[in-house]
């Protein structure tokens, strides 16, 4: 992997973050809480138009998409070799592996949810209609996906093939994930500070219970650009945002730590996706034109 030489970031000014959030005033202090001492950003892939969705298979191989170019890539866990798997994804965005080993993706350009066979990388549609953005899959195979255009969240039952709208949000949902116990669907309200939590019942449907699960830092224009995210241990949440990479504690939880905000490195644009690798050693982050990774502290994940 290519190592990047970065210019240290100065303290993030308070004017960039909503006044009611407790944040760390120093970018270097924030980085110390996340990244290993002496670690540097490493380049995974570059020269993209808009690199997005991240996923790993059971063998640790890394997958991501370039949305406008309709490309799906695999990066070998052992060699770092990058391979183009599909150059006609329907402008796939968010991707996730299901319990059956297939890779599912939100092909918003084709208004389709696709499933890729990991042996042949041929794909088949599993749902059609909505213009999907990001995806979350329960252990029983139930799929949830966000639809910013319709301000909605949809559910796909892989057993019956039934597609149903389960939420009319009234705002543009974007990034999506599941709590570690899979009892809460987490949905990012893109142009805000809010991550919403929706309770999931035993039948894998939404129960109707809703709360503001997390509040993240936002720029002075109020446009948080809350995107790809991942729940961490200790009820924390990792998210890509307009301000860069953030780690947040639950809204209103007593004894919570400070909101951690790490600006995008070297003047890059917003972080549009952030994930911790399955081995817990690396933070991967997408910045539209490239994807980087950096070694993290052992207690982050």
Hey, what domains does the chain have and what are their CATH numbers?
Answer: 2-295 (2.120.10.30)
Strand order in the sheet with 291-295: 2-3, 42-45, 291-295, 282-286, 273-276
pLDDT of the residue at 21: 44
**pTM assigned to the model:** 0.90
Provide, rounded to the nearest whole percent, the portion of the chain with pLDDT above 70.
91
Task: Please state whether beta strands 194-200 and 184-189 pair in parallel, antiparallel, or not at all (unpaired).
Answer: antiparallel
pLDDT of the residue at 32: 87
What is the separation of C-alpha 268 from the centre of its chain, rounded to a whole number of angstroms?
Answer: 18
Average pLDDT on 118-126 reads 98
Q: Which tens digit of pLDDT belongs to each residue from 131-187?
A: 999 999 999 999 999 999 999 999 999 888 899 999 999 999 999 999 999 999 999
Cβ neighbours of 183 (radius 10 Å):
13
Closest CA relative to residue 74, chosen from 49, 95, 100: 95
Q: How far apart are CA 106 and CA 147, in angstroms?
A: 10
């Amino acid at each position: 992997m290519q190592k990047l030489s970065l210019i240290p970031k100065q303290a993030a000014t308070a004017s960039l973050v909503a006044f009611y959030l407790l944040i760390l005033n120093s970018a270097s202090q924030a980085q110390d809480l996340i990244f290993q001492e002496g670690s540097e950003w490493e380049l995974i892939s570059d020269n993209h138009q808009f690199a997005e969705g991240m996923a790993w298979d059971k063998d640790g191989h890394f997958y991501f998409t370039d949305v406008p170019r309709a490309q799906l890539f695999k990066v070998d866990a052992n060699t770092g070799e990058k391979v183009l798997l599909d150059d006609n994804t329907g402008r796939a965005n968010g991707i996730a592996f299901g319990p059956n080993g297939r890779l599912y993706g939100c092909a918003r350009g084709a208004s389709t949810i696709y499933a890729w066979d990991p042996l042949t990388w041929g794909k088949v549609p599993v749902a059609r209609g909505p213009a999907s953005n990001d995806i979350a899959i329960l252990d029983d195979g139930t799929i949830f996906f966000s639809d910013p255009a319709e301000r909605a969240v949809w559910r796909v039952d892989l057993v019956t093939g039934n597609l149903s709208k389960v939420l009319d949000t009234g705002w543009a949902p974007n990034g999506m994930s599941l709590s570690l116990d899979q009892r809460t669907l987490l949905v990012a309200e893109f142009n805000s500070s809010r991550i919403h939590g929706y309770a999931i019942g035993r039948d894998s449907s939404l129960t109707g219970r809703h709360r503001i699960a997390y509040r993240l830092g936002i720029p002075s224009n109020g446009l948080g650009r809350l995107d790809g995210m991942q729940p961490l241990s200790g009820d924390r949440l990792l998210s890509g945002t307009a301000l860069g990479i953030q780690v947040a504690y639950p809204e209103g939880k007593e004894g919570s730590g400070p909101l951690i905000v790490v600006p995008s490195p070297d003047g890059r644009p917003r972080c549009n996706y952030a994930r911790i690798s399955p081995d817990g050693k690396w933070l991967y982050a997408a910045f539209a034109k490239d994807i980087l990774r950096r070694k993290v502290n052992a207690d982050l994940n």
